[in-house]
Every structure is written in structure tokens, then in C-alpha cells.
Amino acid sequence: MRWLVGWSSTTARASDPMGAGSETGETVHPVGSQLLWGDPDPLWAVGDWRPDEVRVVRADDQTRIAVLGTCGASDEQLRVGLFAARGGALRHLTNWPGSYTAVVQVGRRITVAGDLAGARPVFYTPWASGTAYATAALPLADLIEAHLDIGHLAALLACPDVPEALQDSTPYQGVKRIPPGHALILRDGAREIAGYEPVASLAVAAPELDATRAVDGVREALVDAVRARLSAPRHVPDIDPGPVPGMGPAERRAARMPVPGIGADLSGGPASGTLALLAAGLPGMPGTVLGHGTGAGERLLAVTFNDLTAGRQEAELGRAGALAGNPRLHHVVVPAGEEALPYADLEGPLTDEPGPSLVTAARHRLRLAAGSADHLSGYGARQVLDAHPARLADLLMDRRRRHLVRPVAALARTEGSMSSVLVPAKVYGAARRLARTSYRSGIEEAALRLRSGILDEPAGPVGASLAALTWVRPGPAARWLTGEALAEVSVRLEQSATRPGAGPGQHPGELRARAALARHAADVRILEQAAEVRFQRLHTPFLDNQVVRACRALPDSLRIQPGARAAVLRTVLEGAGVTDLPVGWGAPSYATSSAALKLGLRVAVEELVDLFATPLLAQAGLVEGRVVQKALRAAAAGESVPADGLADLVAVELWLRRLLSRRGTCWTGTPARARAVPAGITPQRGALGRAAANGRLGAGRG
């Protein structure tokens, strides 16, 4: 993990707030850190940052900016952004290509800008008569010895993509996160959270950008995002991993280290293919460092993951092979059998937070280990380019009914039966009902649904689309939570309905799309930590600020149409000079990930059943172990059980076990060596607390 941490206190003496009152008088500082600037409001970078990933530009001793990550801005542009931020123009800090975190200090005022997607979040906590902040939650939890926030874990399982349920909480009590598209502003320890993006009005529809200009904007943003990675210095890992019996130095490096240079995923789909072709086609030196790795000179290393356990992949593999015919690409196919199935390897590093990718980390690590030191991936393309089904209601609210014809007809064709004639009426009715439902009513309806335990949803593409046409949708794991846990989440929902927030000022489709993007970006962040390959950087250009902005400018009438993502990316490539795409490029891919999840569960079912013999989730009052065991056996037997819901449960259970078995801390200099959750899982107030204290578990749902 790499993170930054700092604090702002009410006094000029800030770097030793705990040492002054301790017996040893030690100074608190992060383990393995480099100090970017010191008192009175210090800032550290922690972890294996590359030299070019940490930049500090100073105007004077009290005016400076630190940028950590991949940023395509020059030092002069950073200086201009610093002066703009000094005057209050925070958006300037988020306009540069790349993925980074910017911290500005002007006197005693500290500004930390989060990103739009949520892939680079910012956390904060009250501490030492001021506020500490970081780009990871665990270091702050260590600092204050935070207990687990059981209510947050309940909301994460019951409504994972509902901001109203999660609110600003984290798995650690007292540690909060700022929402995507916001910045944290600290003045002498006092904090303020300010949004830097304009919010569309619900009453007056904003004029749509011309489709051609909008797609041109996506192309420019993607090209700039890829160029920011290509223009960064090349990195050649030169540290020997250590002796291994029967292996020489070259073999050890090949087995444990990425290939020097830049590479990309090449799955055969439009997102990864677009990034690979853009990187290979841009002027300069796109690929491996000459004399290293593949020996292919400056060709870009393109990695294709071939899941041997899944069928019907021939078409995608064929398209990937055709794309790899580009002379500037060096193609590598990574075969994977049962050893790379989900749940095959339940051991792994502790991540900052839990996430569904914990059960598939070993699968992704196998692919990434065959990649380059800088590896491009298409994560996030679906979330930023595709239209959420709830956008159908947005079109009705903006009186654009004619644009509903093609998407509704495409849904009807997926039914493939006589019942398809009823689909248009069902979809239109659900969209109209959502358009006429207020934000508060939608939240209250979802809370009532959780309390009553009505959590089953219709199956199939049409059923999923109808279920998504709501303000709030319970997650697939909600059906296995206890009654106390669901009641706790329903209370959180009802409380959010009475507070002013983003919902009342936005269309339902826009709000749901942003929530889905934040959920996906958070899981990509956890995947990056769980599947991390030493000396490698995983780049996700589709989650960059400027790419997200460009994609949001696409008209709803364009993105709602079938095949819109492939059509936009095809136009992007044509504008960049790439026209010879293989036949079938952009065709919908089969749900191989869902099939792999079910197969992996069948193979590892006994180990998973043992995992829930005495689960920590049951100790926290969130589930009943025997109910989850019954669901696991049912899924392994082929019954219709939401496999992604079981994956959520397994991921949180694994994360809890890793957290509680941890013995280290992110800080040094504290007499007690403070760390998060020092007392394990403790009873909570409210329904969950009473269940834990009395040893009672609510009735589970099978």
C-alpha cells in the first residue's frame, strides 16, 4: 500500500501532540515514511513511492502543493494550480491528466482534493485537538485505536452501492471519508468538506452537449490519460527477490517481478483493446525497455487472460489475437486452470477495507504477474460509459420519450419468448413510476423493504433492469443478514432521507450511476492492494478525473442506446487513426466472471463451509453461520442462489479475520504501539449491540 498522511492542529505545535503527554516523550510518525513538509502541519508519503510519483512545488515557505501519483501536469502548471487554489478555485487541482492526489498548503489552510470516481479517496478523523487526514483509512484507525463500525459493515452488505446507507462512514469508528467530487479543507484543525463539481438541477434539465463534440471530448481525455502514463519515466526493477532453491537470478526475477516497461490488458473487449491500441499508436516509446523483458524492443506488452475452465471464449480470444497483430504489440497469453478460480486461495494481504475482489485476488494476481511494471487496464469503462437502467426515468423526466424505444426493444429481444411483448409496457411503467417518485419516498420505501425482509428480485436481464429502476436497491447479500442488521440499515436510510444531500438535486439515473461508479472504483482500489505485484503499478485511465468528466458529458440519449460503449470507443480509435478493428469487436461478451464465481464456489465449498462454522460476522450479529453454510451448499448444488451475494459475505469474513490477526501498526513513537480494533469485536449500541451482548442472533434468511 501507498498512502499519504498529515494533520492540522489548533496550535503551532502539531507534530508531537501525543509525545508531550506521554511518559517517553516520543514523537508520532508513520512507519516507512518520507516527510514532504514539516511543522506546523506536517505531511508524509508512506510506502514504496517512485521518485517521479511524489512532487512538491513551492511558491514560498507557506504556499506549496504536493502531488502524489501519476500526474501529467508540468511544474509550471502545478504552480498555476497552486495560485488558483489559494484563491479558492479547487477544481483546478483536479483538471490534470492522470490519477493523483493533490494537497495544497496556504498558511495554516490545508486542502486535500479527492477524485471524482472514488478510486483515490480521502479519509479524516478528529485527533489531538485537530484533524488527521490520509488516503487510507487503516492508518487513521491505528492512530486513534478505532473500534469496528458494525453498522457500516451491515450497510456494506445490505446496500453496497447506496451512498445513503453507507453515508460517510468506514469500517472503523471515528474515521470518515469525503464523498467523490469533494475536497477536505482544514484551517487550524477545523474541517470543512466542499464540493468542486457543479450539480445539475432537478427542475431544469441542462442542455445536452452535441454527441460528436462529446465523443471527441472522450477521445481527447483518453489520449491525454494514456500519454500521461507513457511520458512518465520507465522503471526497471533491479532488486533480487532472494534465493530460491533451484532458481537462478533471472528465473527468480521472471517468477516474482513484472517485466520492465509499459503494458496493457488485451481481453478482446473494447475497453482494454482501446487502451492497448492507443498506447501502441501514440508517438514515442510505448513498451518494454530495450534489452529487458521480452526482448521486443519498444513493443507494448499485451496480456490476455485465458480461463481454461470457462467455455465460449473462442470469439474473444480470437479478437484479442487479431488486435495483437499490431507490430507495436507483443502478445502474451496467460492460461489459467482451477488454481486461478475464485476462492482458490483465501490467504492474502490485509487491505484497507473489505471488497468483493478479495475472493478473486489470486486470479487477478496471476494475470498481473505476467504484465509490465506499468500496466494499463480497462476497469471502469462500463461504469463511466454505459447507461444505468435508471436513466430511463431521467429521459422521461426530461420529456425525451422517443429515446426509450431502442433500449426497451433490445431488452424485449433478450426475453426470447412470447412474454417479450409485455416487456415494453413493464419497463415503461417502472421508469414512469420512478420518475414520479420523490427521493425521500424512495429511501423510505427501501427502508420499509429491508425491515419487512422483502428482498427477492426477478431474474434475467429484464428482471434486473426492472429492479434497478428504483432510488435504492438492496444488495444480493441482504437476504442472509439478521433481522437486527437489516433494522440497523433501515434506520440509517431513514435518517439520510431527512438530511439535505446530493439526492434531491439530481435525477435518479444520474445518482444511481455515480453510486455504481463509486462502488466499482472502491473495489478496484481494494483489488489493487489485494493482488499487488511488487514494483508494479496498475493504471486505470477510465477512472481518471478528466475521463470521467468527458464521459459524463455524453448525452443520455446516446449512452442509453444498445452497444453505445463499443460505438463510442470505436469512434475514439478512428479519431486516433486506428481503423482496422477485427470483425465482432465490441460484441457483448459472455458472463465468464459469473460462471467462474459459481465454479470456484463448487470447488471450494467445503473450505467455505468451514469458514462459516464460527464466523466473526456472526459474533458481530450480522449473520447466522448455519444459514450461510446452508446457502453455500445450495449454491454448490446448482440451486438459484445469488453467487455475488455469497462472495460479499466471504470477502467481509476474510477481511475481518485478517484484520484481527494483525499485530503490527502504521505508526511508531507511540508508547502503546496503537493499532486499530485493539479489543476485537465488541458489542455495539442499538439492535446490533444488544444482539452481540446477549449472544442472540436474529433469524437468518435461507
The answer to whether residues 67 and 100 touch, using CB atoms and an 8 Å cutoff, is yes
* Mean pLDDT of the 650-654 span: 97
59 pLDDT above the threshold of 80: yes
114 pLDDT above the threshold of 50: yes
Q: How confident is the model at residue 594 (pLDDT cuts 50, 70, 90)?
A: confident
The answer to whether residues 671 and 26 touch, using CB atoms and an 8 Å cutoff, is yes
Nine cell digits for residue 693: 451482548
- The pair phi, psi for residue 37, each rounded to 5°, is -155, 155
Which pLDDT score, from 0 to 100, does residue 403 have? Answer: 74
Which pLDDT score, from 0 to 100, does residue 686 have? Answer: 52
Q: How confident is the prediction for the chain on average, in pLDDT?
A: 84
* Mean pLDDT of the 555-584 span: 88
Question: Residue ranges of the domains in the chain?
Answer: 3-195, 211-235+256-384+537-589, 389-517
Q: Percent of the chain beyond pLDDT 90?
A: 50
Which pLDDT score, from 0 to 100, does residue 235 have? Answer: 78
Which pLDDT score, from 0 to 100, does residue 245 have? Answer: 55
647: which residues sit within 8 A by CB, 6+ positions away? 342, 356, 359, 597
Lowest average pLDDT, out of 60-69, 309-318, 575-584, 619-628, goes to 309-318
Lowest average pLDDT, out of 48-57, 151-160, 550-559, goes to 550-559
* Mean pLDDT of the 233-247 span: 62
Which pLDDT score, from 0 to 100, does residue 194 have? Answer: 93
Q: Could you give the maximum distance between any two Cα atoms of the chain, in Å?
A: 79
Tell me: the pLDDT tens digits for 306-364? 888 876 678 888 888 888 888 888 899 999 888 889 999 899 899 999 999 999 999 99
Strand order in the sheet with 3-9: 33-37, 43-46, 3-9, 130-134, 123-127, 176-177
What is the fold, at CATH topology level, of the domain defined by 211-235+256-384+537-589?
Rossmann fold (3.40.50)
- Of 621, 620, 643, 613, nearest in space to 631 by CA: 643
Q: Percent of the chain beyond pLDDT 70?
A: 83
Q: How confident is the model at residue 135 (pLDDT cuts 50, 70, 90)?
A: very high
695 pLDDT above the threshold of 50: no
Nine cell digits for residue 110: 490545508
Tell me: the pLDDT tens digits for 210-236? 889 999 999 999 999 999 999 888 877
Which pLDDT score, from 0 to 100, does residue 696 have? Answer: 33
Q: How confident is the model at residue 650 (pLDDT cuts 50, 70, 90)?
A: very high
The answer to whether residues 540 and 547 touch, using CB atoms and an 8 Å cutoff, is no
Q: How confident is the model at residue 676 (pLDDT cuts 50, 70, 90)?
A: confident
* Mean pLDDT of the 229-249 span: 67
What is the Cα–Cα distance from 381 to 219, expressed in whole angstroms?
Answer: 13
Tell me: the pLDDT tens digits for 182-196? 999 999 889 999 999
What is the Cα–Cα distance from 668 to 33, expressed in whole angstroms?
Answer: 10
Which pLDDT score, from 0 to 100, does residue 343 have? Answer: 94
| pTM across the whole model | 0.90
What is the Cα–Cα distance from 287 to 297, expressed in whole angstroms?
Answer: 8
- The pair phi, psi for residue 659, each rounded to 5°, is -65, -45
Which pLDDT score, from 0 to 100, does residue 691 have? Answer: 39
- Report angle CA 667, 672, 674 to the nearest 5 degrees: 45
> Which H or E run contains 246?
none
What is the Cα–Cα distance from 75 to 65, expressed in whole angstroms?
Answer: 10
What is the Cα–Cα distance from 420 to 415, expressed in whole angstroms?
Answer: 5
Nine cell digits for residue 450: 429491508
Lowest average pLDDT, out of 144-153, 156-165, 284-293, 589-598, goes to 284-293
Q: Helix, strand or coil for residue 635? A: helix
Which pLDDT score, from 0 to 100, does residue 290 have? Answer: 47
Q: Helix, strand or coil for residue 342? A: coil
Strand order in the sheet with 329-336: 329-336, 300-307, 259-265, 372-376, 537-539
Looking at domain 3-195, its CATH architecture is 4-Layer Sandwich (3.60)
Residues in the chain: 702
Which pLDDT score, from 0 to 100, does residue 350 have? Answer: 94
Which pLDDT score, from 0 to 100, does residue 689 have? Answer: 52
The answer to whether residues 276 and 303 touch, using CB atoms and an 8 Å cutoff, is no
677 pLDDT above the threshold of 80: yes
Count of alpha carbons within 13 angstroms of residue 372, beta-carbon side: 36
Which pLDDT score, from 0 to 100, does residue 25 have? Answer: 46
